C-alpha cells in the first residue's frame, strides 16, 4: 500500500518549511509568500496526490470546514447557479458545502437545518421559505453562524445578502412605460415572503390605479398563471404588457401566451425576472431583471466565514442593485 503523502514530504521536495506549505495549502497569509513558491507547492502537492488529514485538521481547529447551504430548489436555474458560486468560493477558502432543497416547505427546512447542525457544519447559508421566522430565531439562539441569502426578515436582525427588489421592479415597469405600455399586468406568488412582495410593491407604486396583479399559488403555478393572464386580457381595458416576478412564472406565462397565438412583443410585451437559458431559446428573447449572482454568492460566503471566525459577534448585511437586460420581448419596433 502506497504511503500517505504528508506536508513534510512536500516541504522536503520543494525545499521550504512545513509551516510554509501549510500556509499555502490552507490559503493563509499568501500575501507574504511569493507567487512562484506558492505555485510550486501546489504543483508538487498535485503531483504527489496530497490529501489533507481532515480529522487532524478538525481536531486542531475545532471546525469541520463544512458549510450547509439550503436553497429553494436546486433544479431551479437561480438556485443551481447560486449554489455553484457558493461552492466554488467556499472551496477556495478550504471549505466543503453540503446542499439541500427546501422545496418551499417550512417542515423540510426545519428538518434540513437540524440535519446540518447534527452534521456539525461550521455555518449555514439559507434561502428560507415563508413562515420560517421561528427558524431564524432558533439559529440566533443556537449560536451557529448563518447568512440569509435572497430572502430575509426585516424585523429580525441577522446577517443577510439580497437585492433591492423594490427598485428592480421599478426598472422593469419604467422600461415598459417608456415603450408606451400603459396597462401592465403583474404576476407574482401569493406569499408572505418579503422579497417577492417588494417586487409587487415596486411595480404597483408606479402603476397606481392602473395596476393589475395576478396572484399565483405555489402548488398551482401553471393553472393560476393561465387564469391571471386570462383575466388580464378579458378586462374591459386589457393589458398590453406583463411583468412576471420570477423566472418560473415568466416561463409559465410564455407557454400560455404562446398557446393563445399572441405575438410577443407586438401584441403583448413581456419582462421576466432572473436569468435562464429558456429566455434565450424563445423566438423573442426575453427581457429580464438580472441579479448580480456572483456578488451575492461571494458576499454571502465572506460574511459567513467572518462570522465563523468572530463567533457571530456582529451583524452584517448587503443589498445589491440589479440590471435590466433589454431584449426583443419588450421592445416594439414601429
Q: Is the pLDDT of residue 312 over 60?
A: no
Domain with CATH 3.40.50.2300 in the chain: 64-163+293-320, 165-291+324-330
pLDDT band at 1 (very low <50, low <70, confident <90, very high): very low
Residue 301 has pLDDT above 50, yes or no: yes
| Order of strands, sheet of 317-320, starting from the edge strand that comes earlier in the sequence | 96-101, 66-71, 123-126, 146-149, 160-163, 317-320
Q: Which CATH number fits domain 64-163+293-320: 3.30.70.20, 3.40.50.2300, 1.10.10.10, 3.40.1360.10?
A: 3.40.50.2300
Determine phi and psi for 216, rounding to 5 degrees: -120, 130
**Which pLDDT score, from 0 to 100, does residue 214 have?**
97
Average pLDDT over residues 309-330: 90
* Sheet containing 323-325: order of strands: 212-216, 184-189, 241-244, 269-273, 287-290, 323-325
| Residue 310's pLDDT band (cuts 50, 70, 90) | confident
Give residue 181's pLDDT band: very low, low, confident or very high (50, 70, 90): very high
Give the residue among 277, 284, 290, 288 at the shortest CA–CA distance from 329. 284
pLDDT band at 29 (very low <50, low <70, confident <90, very high): low
CA distance linking residue 182 with residue 131, whole number of Å: 35
Q: What is the pLDDT of residue 313?
A: 66
At 54-108, the pLDDT tens digits run 545 544 455 789 999 999 999 999 999 999 999 999 999 999 999 999 999 999 9
In three-state secondary structure terms, 105 is: coil
Tell me what pLDDT residue 55 has: 46
Quick check: helix, strand or coil at residue 304?
Answer: helix
Cβ count near 284 (within 10 Å) = 18
Q: Which pLDDT score is estimated for 169? A: 98
Mean pLDDT of 104-119: 95
Interatomic CA distance for residues 3 and 15, integer angstroms: 20
- Assigned CATH for 7-52: 1.10.260
| CA angle in degrees (0–180, nearest 5) for 248-254-255 | 95
In the predicted structure, residue 248 carries a pLDDT above the cut 70: yes
> Crossing angle of helices 133-142/106-118, nearest 10°?
10
The number of C-alpha atoms within 13 Å of 287 and in the hemisphere containing its C-beta is 25
The share of the chain scoring above pLDDT 90, in percent, equals 75
Which of 141, 95, 135, 143 lies closest to 114, judged by CA? Answer: 135
Q: Is the pTM of this model over 0.85?
A: no
HEC profile of 127-166: CCCCCCHHHHHHHHHHCCCEEEECCCCCCCCCCEEEECHH
Give CATH for domain 165-291+324-330.
3.40.50.2300
Q: What is the mean pLDDT of residues 25-30?
A: 66
pLDDT band per the 50, 70, 90 thresholds, residue 21: confident
Going by pLDDT thresholds of 50, 70 and 90, the confidence category of residue 38 is confident
Selection from 196, 173, 213 nearest residue 248 by Cα: 196
* Backbone torsions φ then ψ of 236, nearest 5 degrees: -60, -25
- CATH 1.10.260-classified regions of the chain: 7-52
Mean pLDDT along residues 157-167:
97
Task: Give the three-class secondary structure for 198.
Answer: helix
Residues 6+ apart with CB under 8 A from 2: none
> Angle of helix 165-178 relative to helix 194-207, nearest 10 degrees?
30
The predicted structure's pLDDT at residue 31: 61
Amino acid at each position: 500500500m502506497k504511503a500517505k503523502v504528508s506536508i513534510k514530504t512536500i516541504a522536503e521536495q520543494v525545499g521550504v518549511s512545513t509551516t510554509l506549505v501549510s500556509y499555502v495549502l490552507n490559503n493563509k497569509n499568501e500575501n507574504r509568500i511569493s507567487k512562484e513558491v506558492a505555485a510550486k507547492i501546489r504543483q508538487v502537492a498535485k503531483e504527489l496526490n496530497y490529501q489533507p488529514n481532515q480529522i487532524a485538521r478538525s481536531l486542531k481547529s475545532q471546525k469541520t470546514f463544512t458549510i450547509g447551504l439550503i436553497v429553494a430548489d436546486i433544479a431551479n436555474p437561480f438556485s443551481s447557479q447560486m449554489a455553484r458560486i457558493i461552492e466554488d468560493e467556499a472551496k477556495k477558502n478550504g471549505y466543503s458545502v453540503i446542499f439541500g432543497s427546501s422545496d418551499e416547505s417550512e417542515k423540510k427546512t426545519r428538518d434540513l437545518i437540524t440535519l446540518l447542525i447534527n452534521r456539525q457544519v461550521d455555518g449555514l447559508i439559507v434561502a428560507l421559505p415563508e413562515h420560517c421566522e421561528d427558524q431564524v430565531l432558533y439559529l440566533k439562539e443556537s449560536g451557529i453562524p448563518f447568512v440569509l441569502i435572497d430572502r430575509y426578515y426585516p424585523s429580525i436582525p441577522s446577517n443577510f445578502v439580497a437585492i433591492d427588489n423594490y427598485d428592480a421592479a421599478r426598472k422593469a415597469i419604467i422600461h415598459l412605460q417608456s415603450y408606451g405600455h400603459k396597462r401592465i399586468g403583474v404576476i407574482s406568488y401569493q406569499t408572505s415572503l418579503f422579497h417577492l412582495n417588494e417586487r409587487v410593491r415596486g411595480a404597483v407604486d408606479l402603476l397606481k390605479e392602473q395596476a393589475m396583479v395576478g396572484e399565483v399559488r405555489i402548488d398551482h403555478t401553471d393553472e393560476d398563471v393561465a387564469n391571471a393572464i386570462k383575466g388580464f386580457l378579458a378586462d374591459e381595458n386589457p393589458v398590453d404588457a406583463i411583468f412576471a416576478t420570477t423566472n418560473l412564472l415568466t416561463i409559465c406565462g410564455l407557454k400560455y401566451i404562446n398557446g393563445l397565438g399572441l405575438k410577443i412583443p407586438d401584441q403583448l410585451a413581456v419582462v421576466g425576472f432572473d436569468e435562464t437559458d429558456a429566455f434565450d431559446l424563445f423566438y423573442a428573447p426575453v427581457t429580464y431583471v438580472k441579479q448580480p449572482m456572483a456578488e451575492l454568492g461571494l458576499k454571502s460566503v465572506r460574511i459567513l466565514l467572518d462570522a465563523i471566525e468572530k463567533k457571530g459577534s456582529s451583524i452584517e448585511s448587503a443589498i445589491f442593485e440589479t440590471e435590466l437586460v433589454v431584449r426583443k420581448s419588450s421592445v416594439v419596433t414601429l
